Amino acid sequence: MEKIRIILADDHQLVRTGIANLLNGEAGFDIIGEASDSTECLNLVQQLKPDVAVLDIAMPGMSGIDLTRKIHDAYPEIRVLILSMYTSEEFIFNAINAGAKGYLPKNTSRKELIEAIQAVSRGEEYYAESISNVILKSYIKKAKSGPEESRIKETQLSKRELEVLRLFAEGFSNQEIADKLFISIRTVESHKNHVMQRLELKSSVDLVKFAIRNNMVNL
């Protein structure tokens, strides 16, 4: 099994060392580079082509959000995971719009950091519970302020696809959905991908937004 090749970018050496120490004990990970600012990180990305870049937002020069956008535009196959002390709605949505596939607060656990890196390396999205709550509250507020017309009616989805969509919007993981519906996790992922394609959605956040707009989850 190939290791997940990772680059870390944070302007604090102590933070980078701490993250590296947490991950070096994980057999499936390989820290191939560290950067103290965005320019150094972008150079490393260009040279080393990692699988995952773990970025802070506040760094000298270009912000981590601008760096995320540059990486995503130039190397869409490289997954960006934001690890930041900034957890407000503005920072979260700016990072997602820039192309980040995951977002964690800096007080995250080693277990969750490992899970997040593994998830984004597979092409999935991963948001810590506190981050998901910010996203959900934002969409709930917008949904309550006025109805927004959906591009495609939910009736165009199959019953099983609707079940997967509803459970995902309610906060269940792919594995939990698989257990509840007695199907494989691969089937869950397949249903999610099909729903996203059919509804022309770009991310898991858009799936939740669609579910809220169509009253598929209780607000």
| Dihedral sign for Cα atoms in the order 20, 130, 184, 150 | negative
Residue 139 lies in a domain: no
Hey, what are 95's tokens?
């990072």
Residue 113 lies in a domain: yes
Same domain, 69 and 168: no
CATH number for the domain that contains residue 15: 3.40.50.2300
d(CA 38, CA 114): 23
Residue 96 lies in a domain: yes
Please indicate, yes or no, whether the overall pTM of this predicted structure exceeds 0.85: no
Tell me which residue range forms the domain holding 113: 4-133
Q: Tell me the per-residue pLDDT of 33-92, one tens digit each, with 9 for 90 and over.
A: 999 999 999 999 999 999 999 999 999 888 999 999 999 999 999 999 999 999 988 899
179-187: average pLDDT:
91
Contact assessment for residue 122 and residue 102, using Cβ atoms and an 8 Å cutoff? no
Same domain, 65 and 22: yes
- By three-state DSSP, how is residue 54 classified? strand
Q: Tell me the per-residue pLDDT of 108-162, one tens digit each, with 9 for 90 and over.
A: 999 999 999 999 999 888 999 888 888 877 776 666 655 444 444 445 778 888 8
